[in-house]
Structure 1
Amino acid sequence: MRELGSAGSSEDGPVFVGDGRYELIRHLGSGGMGDVVAARDVRLDRRVALKFLGAARLTGATPGSERHIRALELFVREGHTMARVDHTYVATIYDCDVGGADPFLVMEHVDGRPLTEYVGGDPLLLEQTVRWSGQIAEGLAAAHREGVMHRDIKPANILITHDNSEVRIIDFGLARFADATESHTDMGTPLYRSPERCRFESGDERSDLYSLGCVMYEMVTGWPPFGDRHSDAAALAKEHQHRSPVRPARQVPDVPDALDGLIMALLAKNPADRPQNAHAVVRALQEVERTLEAMAAKRRLVSGHTAPQVDAGFTERIRVTEKRVRRLTLQFGPAHGETLAARSELAELTGESGDERGAMELYEQMGRDCQRRYGPHDHRALDAFEKMTRWIEGGYER
């Protein structure tokens, strides 16, 4: 594939592939399986993403050889399999092209960021964790219903959309392609790999659920259940097979028992001890959501507020407010008056939903942003830190 500049065109002008149907726009990223490029479907005039696979590099086979041809046939079959998955939370596969030097998949262009940009430090808000985990589980349930396993669930393969903060799972089936072609590519560190996958077994639907448990563990605590991105792969594989992680609730305050228990069940070494299927995980997360809402109702009742219904609708209200915060931040910046008002509303909703730690962290970040923009003693920064302190001391209960 010809080298693309940052704007998409090469030095020789626009680049087209797929017999001229797809105009390459810009390079989006690279991984063990190949390159991802934003493109335009000229025929339908829509944005798409192309996932290029260096088949010769992946298989170690000479282009045109029998082994290379078999790999391309397998790639087409896997493309057809992936295209069967039709669900809101799974990136749609539109086409598969093997006519050029580098075969590629044509998929839905997702305007968003990978979950890797949200995790890897501080825990996520509990509401975010439960909402996004439920969406991942729903996407997996739809795929498993079609007999399609992902085999490589990890934050890099989970995109969060900019417009409505929803999940899109990408790269279904590519790990199977790598396995079947005996590829030795780096499919990512085994931070999220099930014990059976660490033993190079094919696994089943519950292998995806173990990986989901690893992702949820990182969302709740800020780090994966074992090691980090610099850990030795063989050592990580042994830990997945033989060591039990520390329970999330022992590391982070305010993690509901139901969520803590679900994550530990997903991380069971024996697949038979994990939830039966992704639908069961969806139902369990719905119960966690109801628990958070009941906690919020109790908090407001104790504080003297008018008691709401148990279903306080926090999930939808937080989602809508998150969207408004992102829009205002892009338009005005993080410390503009309108943005700060929306961020304060989001922090209060987060605390009222039962996530006092989340409210505290949102106000702390607001204070730091105001200090950077207006100075260390600005009243907006001091106000944010005062509200942070209120949630540290118990929010409405004080």
Structure 2
Amino acid sequence: MGDRHVIGSYQPFAELCRGPATTVYKAYDPSARRFVLLKVLRPDLAREAAAVHRFTTEADLAGRIDHPNVVRIYDFGTVDETVYLAAEFVDGPDLAAVIARGALPWELAAWIAGEMAQGLAAAHDRGILHRDLKPSNVLLGSDGRVQLTDFGMASLAAEGEGAEEVRGTMPYLAPEQVLGEPPGPASDLFALGATLYEMLVGQPAFRGADAAALLDAIVNYDPMPRLAAVSAVPEALMDLAGRLLAKAPEARPSSAHAVAAALADLLDGLPVDAERLALFLEDPAAYRSSTPPLVPPSQARPAVEASPPTREAGDAGARGAAGGREEAGRRFRGRRWSAAVLVLAALLAGTVWWQTST
């Protein structure tokens, strides 16, 4: 297919990126008089039923979510053996590109995480798990909007589809996914926590020399002391990040709604919104020069309810306050496998869907 080939009513005119399975274009829809993001399945994969099913599942599940923090799906289908989906075009960078310039101011990181949590809540309310939440799947519009995208690994929680498969991108996989347990909403919250951490520190929460080392770090390593060294981050935000990154899923916040509410409470009264994010995206220096050091109205811990029966108790970087989470983590790790053995077993079974790049 040439770049100028019309697909249905869509005219591709600029290739944005090319991945192992799809090519993504900026396209124009003359009938609706708007630009769209057009994702096209590779021609050879368009002849494989499994690949087509995965592609159309992404469109179907994402299309069920109507929320300003989730990229809208306008249309999907097949035209002349070309499998495509048309989505809302977001004029702006992804979060990964912004983090690549360095850590974000804590208030913007918290605000972006709150917007992400609202989008996740909308998906979870429809019974949909994202399963690949990461900075490159968060789009930041030039107007300061924050939107989740790429539901290519999503599944319905109630149906347990793909529960036997390890889906996602390694640094953001929850420990229970690494250990082969069924994912749930708490798994998406862990990925949200890993993304929040990366915004605050400028580096991923979990790293390793190879896949086995990285997955072992996810199960065993506590990244919170490194975050605690970032003195500009309020204690309450560190506490929330620690809860999101709890090893045991039951020790994480009870829902994306609870996370969004906690972050809104933390930022209440502070000058942070879409307009301020837009300024930062356009001119980080101008943002920093016009923003005095911000302190939350209260340094008290955000009121985030943890899923019963475990109650978290404080910042993982502070020894005395981390007891509840550490106890839950020890119980969780007590039933773990060796990460290296798990990786090998998963590869042999052909059930690993993780990605190393977008």
The two structures have a TM-score, normalised by structure 1, of 0.66
C-alpha displacement of 1:322: 5.2
Structure 2 residue corresponding to 1:166, chosen from 124, 142, 145 = 145
For 1:272-318, what per-residue CA distance to the aligned partner results, in whole angstroms no more than 9, with x for missing partners? 1111110111112123214xxxxxxxxxxxxxxxxxxxx3x4114xx
The answer for the alignment partner of 1:50 in structure 2 is 38
Q: 1:15 aligned to 2:5?
A: yes
The answer for the alignment partner of 1:150 in structure 2 is 130
Structure 2 residue corresponding to 1:233, chosen from 211, 221, 228 = 211
Secondary structure at the counterpart of residue 174 of structure 1: coil
C-alpha displacement of 1:56: 4.3
C-alpha displacement of 1:124: 0.6
Q: Residue type matched to 1:45 in 2?
A: R
Q: 1:194 aligned to 2:174?
A: yes
Q: Distance in 1 between matches of 2:261 and 2:281?
A: 30
C-alpha displacement of 1:115: 0.6
C-alpha displacement of 1:69: 3.5
Q: In 1, are the aligned partners of 2:165 and 2:180 still within 8 Å (CA)? A: no
C-alpha displacement of 1:262: 0.7
Q: Distance in 2 between matches of 1:264 and 1:326?
A: 27
Q: Distance in 1 between matches of 2:224 and 2:53?
A: 44
Q: Distance in 2 between matches of 1:189 and 1:77?
A: 19
Larger helix share, 1 or 2? 1
C-alpha displacement of 1:126: 1.2
C-alpha displacement of 1:57: 3.9
C-alpha displacement of 1:112: 0.7
Q: Residue type matched to 2:40 in 1?
A: F
The answer for the alignment partner of 1:396 in structure 2 is none
Q: Distance in 1 between matches of 2:182 and 2:240?
A: 24
Q: 1:353 aligned to 2:308?
A: no
Q: Does 273-282 or 74-83 show the bigger shift?
A: 74-83
Q: In 2, are the aligned partners of 1:248 and 1:260 still within 8 Å (CA)? A: no
The 3 A distance-change label for structure 1 pair 321 and 157 is closer
Structure 1 residue corresponding to 2:67, chosen from 65, 84, 87 = 87
Identity of aligned residues (%): 33
Paired residues, number: 292
Q: Residue type matched to 1:272 in 2?
A: E
What pairs with 1:324-343 in structure 2 (closer than 5 Å)?
343=286
Q: Residue type matched to 2:194 in 1?
A: C
The answer for the alignment partner of 1:115 in structure 2 is 95
The answer for the alignment partner of 2:275 in structure 1 is 320
Secondary structure at the counterpart of residue 69 of structure 2: coil
Q: Distance in 1 between matches of 2:205 and 2:281?
A: 30
Structure 1 residue corresponding to 2:15, chosen from 23, 27, 36 = 27
Q: In 1, are the aligned partners of 2:104 and 2:200 still within 8 Å (CA)? A: yes
The 3 A distance-change label for structure 1 pair 70 and 245 is closer
The 3 A distance-change label for structure 1 pair 173 and 277 is farther
Q: Distance in 2 between matches of 1:322 and 1:279?
A: 22
The answer for the alignment partner of 1:96 in structure 2 is 76
Question: Where do 5+ consecutive residues of structure 1 fail to align?
Answer: 5-13, 291-310, 335-339, 356-398
C-alpha displacement of 1:74: 5.4
Structure 2 residue corresponding to 1:268, chosen from 222, 231, 246 = 246
The two structures have a TM-score, normalised by structure 2, of 0.73
The answer for the alignment partner of 1:382 in structure 2 is none
Q: Distance in 2 between matches of 1:260 and 1:168?
A: 23
Taking CA–CA contacts closer than 8 Å with sequence separation of 6 or more, which of the two structures ends up with the larger relative contact order? 2
Q: In 1, are the aligned partners of 2:7 and 2:79 still within 8 Å (CA)? A: no
Q: In 1, are the aligned partners of 2:118 and 2:256 still within 8 Å (CA)? A: yes
Q: Distance in 1 between matches of 2:265 and 2:281?
A: 28
The 3 A distance-change label for structure 1 pair 282 and 220 is same
Q: Distance in 2 between matches of 1:52 and 1:203?
A: 28
The 3 A distance-change label for structure 1 pair 56 and 269 is farther
Question: Where do 5+ consecutive residues of structure 2 fail to align?
Answer: 297-358
Q: Residue type matched to 1:238 in 2?
A: D
Q: Residue type matched to 1:221 in 2?
A: V
Q: Residue type matched to 1:351 in 2?
A: P
C-alpha displacement of 1:326: 6.0
The 3 A distance-change label for structure 1 pair 33 and 167 is farther
Q: In 2, are the aligned partners of 1:256 and 1:288 still within 8 Å (CA)? A: no
Based on CA coordinates, which of the two structures has the bigger radius of gyration?
A: 1
